[in-house]
Each structure stands twice: as C-alpha cells, then as structure tokens.
Amino acid sequence: MNLTLVSVGLVKIVFGGLVAALGIWLAFRGLNRLLGTDAVEDLRKGNTAAGIVHASSLLALGLLVQHAIQATFDAMDLTLRTPPFQPLMVGKLMLFALLHVVLSLGVGTAVLAVGVVLFDKMTPGLDELAEVRKGNVALALVLSAILVVIALLTAPGLQAALNGLIPFPQLPDAVLRSPA
C-alpha cells in the first residue's frame, strides 16, 4: 500500500468537497440575486422552472470548477512523483489551488450572467426572469441548456488558462510521467 497516494487522495476528496460546498453556496446566492428570488422559497413552493434553472446553474458551475481542480491536482501529482520531493512546491500548489477556485468561481458566475444576457438578447420583448419566477418550464429548459452549453464550451479554455498559472515542476530531460 502506498500511504502517500492514499493521503493525497484523501486531501483531494476533502478539497473537492469544500470547493463543491463553496460553489453551491455561491451559485445559489448569485442566481438568487440574478433572478431576484430565494432558491429555498422557490423549492418550497414547488416552482419547477426556478428549480430547473438553479440545477443547471449548479451543473454549469461544477463543469467549470472541475477543470480548476483537475489542473491543480495534475500539478500536485507531478510534484509528488518527480524526485526529489519538494515540500515548498506543495505549499505553492495549495496557494494556486485557492487562486484557481476563486478564478473559476468568478468565471462561472460570469458565464451564468452571460448566458442570461445572451438568452435575453435572443428573446426580445420577453422578460425571461419574470417568466422563470412565474414557473415557465419551457423557458427554464432553454435557459438551462444555454447555461450548460456555455459552461461546456468555455471549460477547456479555462483549464488551459489555469494550467498556464501553475508552476509545474521541472521534469528531468527525457522523462515524461502522466498524472495519476
């Protein structure tokens, strides 16, 4: 048994869970402000349309933040597998992980806002947010699809940008190791 890998795996689980909790909290707060509603109250009332939009915003945010976490974990895996072990590099990676999460949550929030603005431009004369608050499921489904598609298409670019920020360890010449 490799205790280092087990420990790293446990750290990744805890980190991923904390990021997920923070992302869910921020997504609900951000969407509540954008829609001018309360997610808990929408769910209590059974507003299916608002529930669909809230769910898709969480999914979109998760798709984006997943790439930030993956970029950080790839660098961490390389650091741990590249001799000699560099404890200072792990500390740097933790700082970059925090920066990545903040940036990806910010980008995720911006993507949600762009999705709503884009949908608003595509449907002139229709108050989309008022329709969601009224429970218009058809409109909520289309808005949700827009949010998820934007997240899917922007996530690889976000990952590339975040990879550019990571201080990857220098591998010795002619050595290539893939992350676990």
Crossing angle of helices 48-81/3-35, nearest 10°?
Answer: 150
In this predicted structure, what is the pLDDT of residue 119? 83
- pLDDT score at 141: 94
Give the model's pLDDT for residue 145: 93
pLDDT score for 179:
58
The pLDDT, as a whole number, for residue 28 is 73
Residues in the chain with pLDDT values less than 70: 31, 34-35, 37, 83, 85-86, 167-180
